């Protein structure tokens, strides 16, 4: 994120800061960039929730990271907001593709609403339906003797059912590919744009901090 300190609203503050301690002006600019970056991060979950279903409350905030502006050279200062791919690169790749659109590697089995808590699309998968717990399928998806699940396929599509007596409950849909094509549903850019509207006010607050610090 970058900030123009020579706008009509900012230029008077800039002139005053440059007359203070040599660190005042660059400190105010650096802190403004960083405050705006953290505001962007704060806005990401809200903007993401407006465009997609969020089943893990802190997902977007947890994976959004800030690379802070550093130093005292105003011309080279920049703060950045992005997706953290260090811990779970597969999840990070999916979030990035939500922003830009594109293909992601996923699974052939996609959770059915009936396999989720309360049968709701917006809820998490029921714990008992985690794929790691479904081990009752034989070859070609046939149910093992005494098993609790059966996969019924036709062509490249199908449904994985939970079996209780004579009742079949769909818990996953099956597809013959692991690739998901995502449409762009940006959340980072709108958040940055929204935060940028506050830059002049943020700069004013940081300038006032420098005035109080050096004019005691």
Predicted confidence pLDDT, tens digits, the chain (216 residues): 667 887 887 899 999 999 999 999 999 999 999 999 999 999 999 999 999 998 888 999 999 999 999 999 999 999 999 999 998 998 999 999 999 999 999 889 999 999 999 989 888 999 999 988 886 665 555 666 777 888 888 888 999 999 888 899 999 999 999 999 999 999 999 999 999 999 999 999 999 999 998 876
Could you give the CA distance from residue 106 to residue 96 in angstroms, rounded to a whole number?
14
CA-based max dimension of the chain:
84
Cβ 60 vs Cβ 95: under 8 Å: yes
The CA distances from residue 62 to 35, 44, 188, in Å, are 18, 10, 14
At residue 214, φ and ψ (nearest 5 deg) are -105, 0
| Three-class SS state of 189 | helix
Spatial separation of the C-alpha atoms in residues 32 and 108, rounded to whole Å: 46
d(CA 66, CA 38): 7
Element containing residue 93 per DSSP (H, E): helix 89-100
Residues 80 and 70: their CA atoms lie apart, in Å, by 11
């Amino acid at each position: 994120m970058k900030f123009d300190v020579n706008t009509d609203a900012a230029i008077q503050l800039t002139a005053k800061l440059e007359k203070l301690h040599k660190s005042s002006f660059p400190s105010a600019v650096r802190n403004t960039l960083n405050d705006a970056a953290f505001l962007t991060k704060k806005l990401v979950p809200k903007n993401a929730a407006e465009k997609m279903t969020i089943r893990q409350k802190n997902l977007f905030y947890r994976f959004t990271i800030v690379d802070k502006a550093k130093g005292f050279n105003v011309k080279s200062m920049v703060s950045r907001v992005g997706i953290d791919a260090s811990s779970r690169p597969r999840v990070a790749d999916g979030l990035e593709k939500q922003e830009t659109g594109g293909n992601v590697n996923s699974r052939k089995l996609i959770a059915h609403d009936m396999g989720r808590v309360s049968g709701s699309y917006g809820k998490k998968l029921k714990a008992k339906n985690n794929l790691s717990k479904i081990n009752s399928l034989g070859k070609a998806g046939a149910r093992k003797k005494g098993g609790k699940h059966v996969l019924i396929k036709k062509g490249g599509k199908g449904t994985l059912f939970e079996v209780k007596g004579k009742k079949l409950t769909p818990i996953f849909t099956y597809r013959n590919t692991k690739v998901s094509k995502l449409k762009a549903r940006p959340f980072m850019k709108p958040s940055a744009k929204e935060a940028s509207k506050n830059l002049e006010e943020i700069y004013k607050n940081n300038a006032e901090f420098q005035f109080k610090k050096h004019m005691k």
